[in-house]
A and B are shown apart, each in its own frame.
Chain A
Amino acid sequence: MADYEIPTLGDVEERPIPQLAPGAMANAKTCYPASAAHQEALGFPGGLVPDWQEKAIAKMGDLLGRYRSLQVFMDICVKCGACTDKCHYFLGTGDPKNMPVARQDLFRSVYRRYFTPAGKMFPALVGAKDFTRELLDEWYNYFHQCSQCRRCSVFCPYGIDTAEISMAAREIMDHIGVGQKYCNEILGKVHKIGNNLGLPEPALANTLEGLEEDVKDETGLDVKYPLDVEGAEVLLITPSADFFAEPHVMGLIGYGKVFHAAGVSWTLSSYASEAANFSMFIGNYDHLRKAALRIRKAAQDLKVKRIIFGECGHAWRVAYSFLNTVAGPWDFLDPRYPVPQHILEFTYDLIRRKGIKLDRSGNEGKVLTIHDSCNVARGSRMGDFPGGQFAIPREVIKASVPTFVDMHRDTICEKTFCCGGGGGLLTDELMDLRIKGVKPRAEALKQVVDDHGVTHMASICAICKSQFTKVLPYYGFDREMIVSAHQLVSDAIVLGDNG
């Protein structure tokens, strides 16, 4: 492992808040800028445009007129400080500019200078600032230290959501030619090939065939992992990490076993082979819609009746909250089911109706906890009641394992911490930030490991799974303790004797 400064874990009961360390992350290694090719593929300028300041202000005005959230959030913050100890990146780094209100103020200072009478007349009095090159650099640095997890918005008395502001900031930066490589390169691959990894159809087919063989070896049964099957009942849209990364792929194996046991025909699509939609991270509505429309086209071409999403956090936010808006209406699908459904909703329903059988001894010796993924927790729902996004994953896990323990109440459900790698920050050059950002989660995990003998932490998000397996080992946790929720289902499900 490379040499990083690893924060010391505190006691979660004491809610440790670091001393302010101004500038701690000011010269942090920031994310690589997008190349001209990656920028232009998305219709953005290839590099910083000469009249960037003017263009940025114009774009800001455009967004203020199109997004009520942005306009209202710019005007109503009273600097009460309720959010200041809520962000995992602040808690992990101590850099005061990682306090949500300070991050917002990087944007707000420009807003005030160019869009408010007070900022035009008395800039120093109200903290209004000219949009200088130095400030733009600060934007790039600190708006890429926000994972858009919305934890601050839970605690804000007015619901101000820093995610909305960091999305707008990235949208403005993209439009003046200062994009982020990780997000924009990936988005280009989705538009061109259909998934974040750039896996073409033959590679997918090959991978899925391999999975069928593995499951056949394990169970002796012909569990199918179908691709592009016209007329299937269900179209499964899952994050492409599920096709190869661990523990993600064990989740995909689990989905297949559930469909098999339930006798529901399903298919993946090589055209829409990605649940993730990084357009949300860069705040771009057009790309959000363009990527989502691939799913619509796949559903129509394959003539499916339902759409189900695999385990992925921001993907589920986009699917649950935005899909109907950007790619609806879904009137050509079976109206008896919500569009889209989450695979956990599907499995939970089967468990309740006794449509599948689970045997907890398949996970003998495991003591589970769950990491509520931020976008699922605070940006979506499962089931038909508020908070179903917390209850349903827990019920499915409890039905699959012998013992389940929740982490500290300040770190679960709507108060969950981000894994530290969300929002388009899951890239190697940000490893220092990612290690520091996972600190609050690591503290809570350590407590249940020490006090309750927790052996595994389930996650329902591809980014969380990748982030945790990579950074938790720096704190002394075993990477194998991170599991997919459907990996647990996979190990508990009873196949083959349903007749």
Chain B
Amino acid sequence: MSTLFASLFAFATLVLVAGLAAKIWQFARTPAPLKIPTSPAPLTRRGAALRVAGEVALFQSLFKSNKPLWLFAVLFHLGLAVVVARHLRYFQDPVWLPVRLVQPFGLYGGLMMVAGLALLTLRRMLVARVAFVTGPSDWLMLVLLLAIGASGLTMKAVAHTDIVGVKAFFVGLMHLQVRPLPDDPVLAVHLGLVAVLMLVFPFSKLLHAPGIFFSPTRNQADDARERRHLAPWAARLEAEGN
């Protein structure tokens, strides 16, 4: 069992890191031949960076678009962020101060995350327009995240697992040692689903996380008249005199 999970997480980590690196490399390498910021847009590159930061941290465009959806999305993502930060302690010895500070909020983060997911799921079912554009993979992603949240909350609030043993397992794994993983079915489900999430990340819509940083309509400065923008392939076209 321990060996199985150790191999699974080693493999999932490899897929996640290599897969994401490949996608980020692809996004970064592909040129943006024309200036296409959705205007009005910031006039400077620093302003454009702030615009992207506003999208990432505050979901500004979504706020403009749809207030309930914005609220549900913030609930989920903020909850997830707290939960992820809270989980870092299982990989650290000693535990960083910021991670210790977030400790008391872990449960609330988990509840926010699951509540946000539940509301997003309901919305997907009840709003006909959204249901129309929802495919099997979209439903499965929600089910996966809900199951991860629910199994985690179960261990937090209902049936505690041997968390010291879990930490020993993961710290050991980071030193490439296989230590015993506590024998707990809820834990096995939780970890198994997290591994699945890591495996599908680079091949799914979760790519919105790195992708937002590369979105030309958001990350370009509005300076087309002042600064000549030329993609390498367009420059070659020009040089060939075509």
Contacts and interface: CB of A to CB of B under 8 A. Distances in A.
B61 A76 contact: no
Nearest to B200: A118
Interface string A71-94: 111011111111111100000000
A322 interface: yes
B55 A64 contact: no
A385 B42 CA distance: 9
B112 to A, nearest CB: 18
Interface stretch (B2-10, B130-138, B150-158, B179-187): B130-138
Given A101-B133, A102-B132, A379 B39 contact: yes
A153 B39 CA distance: 10
A28 interface: no
A75 B27 CA distance: 10
B224 interface: yes
A69 B217 contact: yes
Interface string B207-242: 110011011111000101111111101100100001
A69 B31 contact: no
Interface in A280-323: 285-286, 289, 320-322
A309 B61 CA distance: 31
B206 to A, nearest CB: 8
Range class of the A interface residue count: 35 or more
Nearest to A121: B203
A99 B204 CA distance: 22
Contacts of A160: 215, 217
A394 to B, nearest CB: 14
A26 interface: no
Nearest to A280: B34
Interface stretch (B62-70, B97-105, B163-171, B188-196): B62-70
Contacts of B92: none
Contacts of A76: 205, 207-208, 211-212, 215
Contacts of A19: 128
Contacts of B230: 325
Contact of B129 (A64, A96, A289, A377): A96
Nearest to B207: A75
Range class of the B interface residue count: 35 or more
A157 B203 CA distance: 20
A387 B128 CA distance: 35
A102 B140 contact: no
B59 interface: yes
Contact of A414 (B40, B134, B211): B40
B33 A66 contact: yes
A68 interface: yes
Interface in B91-135: 123-124, 127-130, 132-135
B40 A79 contact: no
A116 B211 CA distance: 16
B229 A325 contact: yes
A75 B23 contact: yes
Contact of B214 (A72, A126, A320): A72
Given A320-B225, A386-B39, A386-B43, A20 B128 contact: yes
Contact of B39 (A79, A127, A286, A414): A414
Interface string A20-46: 101000000000000000000000000
A226 interface: no
B135 A127 contact: yes
Contacts of A380: 39
Interface in A131-172: 150, 153-161, 164
A272 interface: no
Interface string A376-420: 011111000111011000000000000000000000001000000
Nearest to A329: B228
B144 interface: no
A94 to B, nearest CB: 10
A324 interface: yes
A414 B205 CA distance: 27
A340 B26 CA distance: 34
A321 B30 contact: no
A496 interface: no
B53 interface: no
A117 B66 contact: no
A443 interface: no
Contact of A68 (B30, B39, B228, B234): B30
Given A125-B140, A127-B135, A153 B224 contact: no
Contacts of B39: 377-381, 386, 389, 414
B89 to A, nearest CB: 29
A475 B240 CA distance: 52
Contacts of B30: 64-68, 71-72
B152 to A, nearest CB: 22
Contacts of A203: none
A124 interface: yes
Nearest to B19: A117
B36 interface: yes
A285 B208 CA distance: 27
Contact of A77 (B42, B128, B205): B205
Nearest to A157: B62
A85 B138 contact: no
B119 to A, nearest CB: 13
A84 B130 contact: yes
B27 A71 contact: yes
A483 interface: no
A118 B216 CA distance: 25
Contacts of B197: none
Interface core residue of A124, A125, A155 (most chain B CB under 10 Å):
A155
A7 interface: no
A437 to B, nearest CB: 18
B73 interface: yes
B42 to A, nearest CB: 7
A381 B62 contact: no
B41 interface: yes
Contact of A321 (B36, B205, B234): B36
18 contacts: A20-B132, A68-B27, A68-B30, A69-B36, A75-B205, A75-B207, A79-B134, A80-B62, A81-B130, A82-B62, A84-B133, A118-B204, A126-B136, A158-B55, A321-B35, A322-B35, A389-B40, A390-B40
Interface of A: 17, 19-20, 22, 64-69, 71-73, 75-86, 96, 99, 101-102, 105, 116-118, 124-127, 150, 153-161, 164, 285-286, 289, 320-322, 324-326, 328-329, 338-340, 377-381, 385-387, 389-390, 414
Given A82-B69, A325-B35, A381-B41, 18 more contacts: A20-B128, A69-B36, A71-B27, A76-B207, A76-B212, A80-B73, A82-B61, A99-B133, A126-B137, A150-B217, A157-B59, A158-B61, A161-B36, A322-B35, A325-B224, A377-B39, A381-B40, A389-B40
